[in-house]
């Protein structure tokens, strides 16, 4: 068929962002309130959730509506071990200045005050000089302080509003959990300083993070992250109708109709997990003869190829990265139905729960499991359980770490249910 209307792959904005209407509405309301009354009305939000649920694309949609309203949107990168958030801000400023962007030009002095940063990487050809602050020697980076960053953002927002009265500044950070601790602390402090010192500034923040982001903020020494940020957890799977809409609507828009049963089948096999929805729908689309309908027979014909692609793209690479102990842990979780509490895991793995906590922490950090509710653990990717059950036993003989077989894990589970 013609060019696919689906958007598999991390961060690819879908034609139809299904099921996030309420979130977008709240965001737009907050933007309007901030544009009207300033920072006092801001609701800084962090979209949290496992990989593939649509954090990045939802944040992108937030950015789009902010831009539509006249806001300047600044996307900062949080890559650990590389440039920090402030470097990223300065690089952004540098690019805008090089384009002769008015508000940035007029806010330049305030931006330069953050400076003292080593600008050489971004300065080439841009003709930008950033003043060294008194105390630092030439070329020596100065650690930006929260007050100066807040002041610069507030000034920039005021300048933006001279051109676009309903605008301001929105700062976004994707994958906050990857940022360095001091960077997160600085970001939080700058937002706090904006609240205290610049209540009229039209500045708002949106970020994303894996489910353990509250813990990350806590570890970074951010005091009361819950008071500073509104945490919006995105569920792993879309509600049934939203999932259906994500499949049917993009096609309908270009004159292709899904047979209802065909779309239902894709929702069923993907559990409505956004990343898989896009991937499956894309494969079906590519293989269906069309030209203006997708039928159940098309879905059935494409399913093996879609499952195969899913395995190769996402499941196998994950599985290959795991250590034997991590595999055993995940296998136990799969045997227990993909979701379990630590004591149950401890039981089927025949180890005290506290011995397993570091494994749990590792897998949470890597985004493979998450805690849907306190004390519970769940596999991030719904179809991973089947994959693990199909592949685990092959890996057991190949490891020198003594791990339990699936049969052993299952026997312990049976014994436990027999105990009751």
Ligand X SMILES: Nc1ncnc2c1ncn2[C@@H]1O[C@H](COP(=O)(O)OP(=O)(O)O)[C@@H](O)[C@H]1O
Q: Which residues bind ligand X (CB under 6 A)?
A: 7-12, 14, 17-20, 49, 51-57, 246, 274-275, 278
User: Cβ of residue 383: shortest distance to ligand X, in angstroms?
Assistant: 14
* Cβ(274)–Cβ(53) below 8 Å: yes
- C-alpha–C-alpha distance, residues 137 and 228, integer Å: 35
Q: Cβ atoms within 10 A of the Cβ of 135, count?
A: 8
Q: What six digits make up the tokens of 284?
A: 């079906």
Is 307 a binder of Mg ion (CB under 5 A)? Answer: no
Is 56 a binder of Mg ion (CB under 5 A)? Answer: yes
Is 148 a binder of Mg ion (CB under 5 A)? Answer: no
Residue 57 or 294 having the CB closest to ligand X: 57
Residue 117 or 173 having the CB closest to ligand X: 173
* Prior bond of 298 cis (ω within 30°): no
User: Cβ of residue 20: shortest distance to ligand X, in angstroms?
Assistant: 5
User: Cβ of residue 108: shortest distance to ligand X, in angstroms?
Assistant: 33
Sign of CA dihedral 21, 214, 207, 385: negative
Exposed (0-12), middle (13-18) or buried (19+): which is 304, by Cβ within 10 Å?
Answer: exposed
The residue number with the shortest CB distance to ligand X is: 54
Q: What six digits make up the tokens of 3?
A: 């060019």
Size of the site for Mg ion (CB under 5 A): 1
Residue 9 or 102 having the CB closest to ligand X: 9
User: Cβ of residue 81: shortest distance to ligand X, in angstroms?
Assistant: 21
Q: Which stretch binds Mg ion (CB under 5 A): 48-56, 103-111, 368-376, 397-405?
A: 48-56
Q: What six digits make up the tokens of 186?
A: 């600085």
Distances (CA, A) of 290 to 39, 124, 183, 250, 316: 51, 51, 51, 15, 31
**Bridge partners of residue 76, in order along the sequence:** 173
Q: Which does 225 bind (CB under 5 to 8 A by kind): Mg ion, ligand X, none?
A: none
Query: Residue 128's Cα: distance from chain center in Å?
Result: 33
User: Cβ of residue 61: shortest distance to ligand X, in angstroms?
Assistant: 9
Query: Residue 164's Cα: distance from chain center in Å?
Result: 30
Residue 158 or 176 having the CB closest to Mg ion: 176
Q: Which does 276 bind (CB under 5 to 8 A by kind): ligand X, Mg ion, none?
A: none
Q: Which does 347 bind (CB under 5 to 8 A by kind): Mg ion, ligand X, none?
A: none
User: Cβ of residue 247: shortest distance to ligand X, in angstroms?
Assistant: 9
Distances (CA, A) of 122 to 35, 90, 97, 129, 296: 31, 8, 11, 10, 53
Residue 17 or 149 having the CB closest to ligand X: 17
User: Cβ of residue 52: shortest distance to ligand X, in angstroms?
Assistant: 5
- C-alpha–C-alpha distance, residues 329 and 245, integer Å: 36
Spell out the residues 6+ positions from residue 71 whose beta carbon is closer than 8 angstroms to its own: 31, 35, 160, 164, 167, 168, 169, 170, 202, 204
Residue 141 or 382 having the CB closest to Mg ion: 382
Residue 210 or 228 having the CB closest to ligand X: 210
Query: 331 phi and psi, to 5 degrees?
Result: -60, -40
Residue with tokens 């034609």: 15
Q: Which does 54 bind (CB under 5 to 8 A by kind): Mg ion, ligand X, none?
A: ligand X
The residue number with the shortest CB distance to Mg ion is: 56
Q: Which does 103 bind (CB under 5 to 8 A by kind): Mg ion, ligand X, none?
A: none
- Which positions lie near Mg ion, rule CB under 5 A? 56
């Amino acid at each position: 068929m013609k060019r696919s209307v689906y958007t598999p792959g991390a961060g690819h904005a879908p034609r139809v962002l299904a099921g996030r209407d309420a979130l977008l509405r709240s965001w737009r309301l907050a933007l309007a309130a901030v544009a009207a009354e300033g920072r006092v009305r801001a609701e800084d939000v962090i979209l949290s959730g496992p990989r593939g649920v649509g954090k990045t694309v939802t944040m992108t949609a937030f950015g789009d509506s902010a831009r539509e309203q006249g806001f300047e949107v600044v996307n900062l990168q949080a890559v650990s071990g590389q440039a920090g958030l402030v470097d990223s801000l300065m690089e952004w400023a540098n690019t805008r200045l090089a384009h002769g962007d008015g508000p940035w030009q007029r806010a330049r002095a305030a931006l330069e005050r953050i400076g003292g940063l080593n600008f050489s990487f971004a300065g080439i050809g841009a003709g930008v000089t950033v003043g060294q602050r008194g105390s630092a020697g030439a070329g020596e980076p100065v650690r930006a302080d929260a007050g100066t960053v807040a002041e610069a953002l507030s000034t920039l927002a005021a300048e933006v509003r001279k051109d676009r009265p309903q605008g301001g500044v929105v700062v976004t950070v994707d994958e906050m959990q990857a940022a360095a601790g001091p960077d997160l602390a600085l970001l939080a402090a700058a937002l706090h300083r904006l609240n205290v010192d610049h209540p009229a500034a039209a500045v708002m923040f949106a970020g994303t993070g894996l489910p353990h982001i509250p813990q990350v903020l806590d570890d970074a020494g951010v005091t009361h992250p819950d008071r500073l940020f509104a945490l919006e957890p995105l569920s792993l799977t879309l509600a049934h109708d939203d999932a259906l809409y994500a499949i049917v609507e993009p096609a309908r828009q270009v004159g292709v109709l899904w047979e209802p049963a065909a779309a239902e089948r894709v929702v069923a096999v993907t559990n409505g997990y956004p990343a898989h929805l896009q991937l499956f729908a894309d494969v079906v689309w590519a293989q269906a003869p069309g030209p203006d309908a997708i039928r159940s027979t098309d879905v059935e014909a494409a399913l093996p190829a879609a499952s195969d692609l899913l395995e190769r793209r996402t499941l196998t690479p994950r599985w290959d990265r795991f250590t034997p102990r991590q595999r055993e842990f995940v296998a136990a979780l799969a045997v227990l139905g993909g979701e379990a509490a630590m004591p149950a895991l401890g039981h089927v793995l025949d180890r005290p729960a506290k011995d397993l906590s570091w494994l749990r922490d590792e897998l949470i950090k890597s985004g493979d499991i998450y805690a849907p509710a306190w004390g519970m653990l769940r596999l991030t990717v719904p179809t991973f359980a089947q994959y693990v059950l199909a592949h685990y036993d092959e890996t057991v003989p190949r490891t020198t770490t003594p791990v339990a077989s699936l049969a052993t894990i299952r026997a312990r589970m049976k014994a436990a249910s027999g105990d009751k």
